[in-house]
Amino acid sequence: MSWYEERRENKRTEAMIRREDAAAAAQVRIAERQATAQIRRADELARREVKEQAAAARRDRRAAMLRGARVWFGRHVVELLIYPIALLSFVLAAPAMARYGTEVFASELGALLPGITELGMWAFAIAVVIERRRHPDRSVWGLVAGVLVFGAVAFGINFTHGLTVAWDHGVVMGTASIAGVVAHQLTLATAPKSGQQRREARIERAAARKVARIRKAAVKRAVAEIDADGSARLLYAPGRYSITRWRALKPATVPGLPVAASTDWDRELADLLATTGAATATGPTPSVEGEQDSRDSIEGGAVATLDHGPDLHESTPDRPVIDRKPGRSIEQLRAELAAAIEAGKVNPTSAESIRKTLRIGIARARQLRDEHTKGGRK
């Protein structure tokens, strides 16, 4: 190969290399442009997604705000209707009271008069609402009394101010000054309760009043126990009681409930002695249980007992005094006892058996038993 041909071949090779390098560079530039375009598209999509998310978040926030506003308006629709009336009442009355105070007190400080007439009653009115919402069970009669007193003061001063022109001016100014507070107290100061809650509240109040009356009557009936050092305490007789029309306690039995067993033997003995004393004062003197037997036993040299054996086993300290046929005379009871003895329904030597069979008090049962026992011995 000649020098000339070799040179041409080298030039052709160099040209081919340059073309291949240019093609490779073009491919690199195309790849770079494609990557750049892809990155731009990805960035645009990311920015679009961010914008869409932000818009969706804004829409959600607006929807939540609208829902909250609807809920709030729904819950406070009464306040939205009443407080504008209260504002109008205050705006009408306060400037007039400020001018009137300046005239009456002959000083610019008289302009503070609405702080007593208008702000005073409104302070108590708002306090009533706050107290009832924070403490529904607490009494707010003091605050309500403050509303009434300051409302009366506001009406009176505004009425007097208007009366200097004409009586109808006084009525209008007085009414306008308290209209807002009246509407506020009628609608917002009353705790909202259902009919069932109001009925239960009335029952609870009635029960509390009755418990208070019974406790007061129990205190009046209680006795005092004084210790050696001079200290004293009240003693109460436990049991079931009802209260009379004259606020006094009387023992009561509850149908369907068992009679509670008593452990206060001193009180039972005192009640027994009181019953025996009352029977002695109103009728024939009943004999003490086992009196005749005791006398007979003493005469015979044996140890005396206070009651017959069978009656001791049948008697209980908590037996109630029941007489389902009041007004029966002693003759009628004797006849009924005789009939019961003949029928075999009663043990005539047991006062408890006579009491249960004839449904009478223990004093008369003992009297009938003693009469039957003495008659039998005769």
Task: Give CA–CA dist 306/295, Å, rounded.
Answer: 10
Angle at the Cα of 162 from the Cα atoms of 156 and 167, rounded to 5 degrees: 95
The pLDDT of residue 259 is 56
The pLDDT of residue 60 is 92
The pLDDT of residue 288 is 42
The pLDDT of residue 293 is 41
Task: Give CA–CA dist 283/51, Å, rounded.
Answer: 107
Burial class (CB in 10 A: 0-12, 13-18, 19+), 154: buried
Q: Are 298 and 335 in contact (CB under 8 A)?
A: no
- Residue 344's contacts (CB-CB under 8 Å, 6 or more residues apart) are none
pTM for this predicted structure? 0.45
Task: Give CA–CA dist 177/128, Å, rounded.
Answer: 19
The pLDDT of residue 228 is 85
Q: Are 311 and 291 in contact (CB under 8 A)?
A: no
The pLDDT of residue 282 is 46
The pLDDT of residue 279 is 47
Task: Give CA–CA dist 107/114, Å, rounded.
Answer: 14
Q: Are 333 and 360 in contact (CB under 8 A)?
A: yes
Long-range contacts of 315-319 (CB under 8 A, 24+ apart): 315/351, 315/352, 316/352, 317/261, 317/262, 317/265, 317/268, 318/259, 318/260, 318/261, 318/262, 319/259, 319/352, 319/355, 319/362
Residue in the structure block whose two tokens are 């007061």: 216
Q: Are 324 and 359 in contact (CB under 8 A)?
A: yes
Task: Give CA–CA dist 305/297, Å, rounded.
Answer: 8
Per DSSP, the residues of 179-237 read HHHHHHHHHTSSPP--HHHHHHHHHHHHHHHHHHHHHHHHHHH-EEEE-TTS-EEEE--
Task: Give CA–CA dist 217/196, Å, rounded.
Answer: 32
Burial class (CB in 10 A: 0-12, 13-18, 19+), 299: exposed
Task: Give CA–CA dist 127/121, Å, rounded.
Answer: 10
Query: Taking the C-alpha atoms of 7, 10, 15 and 16 in order, what is their torsion angle to the nearest 10 degrees?
Result: 150
R_g (Cα) of the chain, nearest Å: 51
Task: Give CA–CA dist 297/307, Å, rounded.
Answer: 12
Identity of residue 131 = E
The pLDDT of residue 300 is 39
Token pair for 185:
């107290």
The pLDDT of residue 295 is 40
The pLDDT of residue 26 is 85
Mean pLDDT of successive 10-residue segments in the chain (378 residues)? 75 84 86 88 90 91 91 85 90 90 89 89 91 81 91 92 89 91 86 73 88 90 87 86 83 68 53 54 44 39 40 43 60 88 86 87 87 66
